[in-house]
Amino acid sequence: MTDQTLTDGTITLVGEDRGDPGLHGFVIEHDGTRVGRCAVRRSDPTTGQLTWVLLEEHRGRGHAARAVRVLTDFALSETGQGGLGLTRVEAHVEPDNEAALRVATRSGLRREGVRRSESTGHVVLARLVDDPPLSDAGSFRALLNSFLPRKRAISQMLIQDESGRVLLCQLTYKQDWDLPGGVVEVGESPQLAVAREVEEELGLQIPAGPLLLTDWLPPWGGWDDALCLVFDGGTHPASITEEIVKQAREIRAAEFCTLDEVRKRCADFTARRIESALEGDGTAPSYSESGRIG
């Protein structure tokens, strides 16, 4: 409960007693008119959960974002400065509530992820007491980075022998054969990632050459969409397979295959990707979607 009044010069939060000592509730006013309500409830000694609601006729004017920002500053301010002395405030928003997600991010809360539940779950957004102010350029970029879309990247290597056959791997976790490679780690160069994967999976040290193909993979079988980057691994003697040291956890076999064998052993979209990559020369990388160019 609180009897405080908070303002940023545009909106005013007027404290109201809701009969709950752990709940600090406010009426949101703009130009002397009540436009909604907001509150912060302690969920533990250092954390508070934010809630807000705006009257329908006052929505879309930025009042909610300003109110949540003022309320957040109050909650994170030290008690000696009239605040609550919390170190973290958070909001739980339904994933399809785009308006509430906009309010949360515009008020400075960073998106941390989706907390799943038996129903739809909710997006968790939060601000910490030691987060830099939004006026700081790095803080604003970090805020944008927390909610802008992210896409998984996969790097693969096209390795051929003197007769033009392609090196394929038989994987332990799926029936289809595929090019050597794997998922790019956070902050890792895709070009370095594929060389790392080839060394880890096959024991071969082959630097990745030019990019041959960028292939967009649509959502499939429980996976989100992704970008697959195919790099040129060059031409090598067929006997290079004798140097392979398979990572048993992931690789059953590795063989050079003709295009007919590629089509028989690979999923259709993988075969299309390989054929599209073979058409490139590394000087002008191609773009495809599920292996289809154009």
245 and 128 within one domain? no
Specify if 123 maps to a domain: yes
Q: Which two tokens stand for residue 68?
A: 């949540």
Q: Which residue among 147, 164, 182 closes a domain? A: 147
| C-beta separation of 46 from 87 below 8 A | yes
* CATH number, residue 133: 3.40.630.30
Residues 161, 70 within the same domain: no
Alpha carbon distance 200, 170 (integer Å): 15
The answer as to whether 24 is a domain residue is yes
Residue 294 lies in a domain: no
Residues 137 and 159 in one domain: no
Nearest C-alpha neighbor of 99 from the set 27, 47, 36, 34 = 36
pLDDT of residue 143: 79
Distance (Å, whole) CA 46 – CA 83: 12
Judgement on whether residues 46 and 23 belong to the same structural domain of the protein: yes
Are 142 and 158 within one domain? no
Give the HSE-up count for residue 123: Cα atoms under 13 Å, Cβ half-sphere: 19
Residue 154 has pLDDT above 70, yes or no: yes
Give a yes or no: residue 236 inside a domain: yes
d(CA 254, CA 150): 32
The closest alpha carbon to 180, from 269, 252, 268, 263, belongs to: 252
Last residue of a domain, one of 93, 115, 147: 147
Judge if 176 and 99 occupy the same domain. no
Last residue of one domain, picked from the residues 92, 122, 147: 147
Give first-to-last CA distance, the chain, whole Å: 62
| Tens of pLDDT, residues 39-86 | 999 999 999 999 999 999 999 999 999 999 999 999 999 988 889 999
Asked if residue 249 belongs to a domain, the reply is yes
Instruction: Provide the domain limits for residue 189.
Output: 152-289
pLDDT at 2: 59
Tell me the pTM: 0.73
Higher pLDDT: 281 or 135? It is 135
Statement to judge: residues 197 and 174 lie in one domain: yes
How many domains are there within the chain? 2
Q: Are residues 142 and 199 in the same domain?
A: no
Looking at residues 116-123, what average pLDDT do you find? 83
Distances (CA, A) of 277 to 213, 228, 239, 272: 5, 11, 23, 9
Q: For the chain, what is the mean pLDDT? A: 92
In a domain, 227, yes or no: yes
Asked if residue 189 has pLDDT above 80, the reply is yes
CB neighbour burial string for 217-256, b if at least 16 within 10 angstroms, e if fewer? beeeeeeeebbbbbbbbeebeeebbeebebeeeebeebbb
Instruction: Judge if 61 and 142 occupy the same domain.
Output: yes
* Tokens matching residue 163: 């007769």
191 lies in the same domain as 169: yes
Determine, yes or no, domain membership for 124.
yes
Q: Is the pLDDT of residue 260 over 90?
A: yes
Q: Are residues 117 and 175 in the same domain?
A: no
**Ramachandran assignment for 252, one of left (phi > 0), alpha (psi -120 to 50 degrees), beta (any other):** alpha
Strand partners, 289: 216, 292
Q: Is the pLDDT of residue 201 over 60?
A: yes
CATH of the domain at 158: 3.90.79.10
Residue 197 sits in the same domain as residue 107: no
49 close to 43: Cβ distance less than 8 angstroms: yes
Contacts of 81 (CB under 8 A, 6+ apart): none
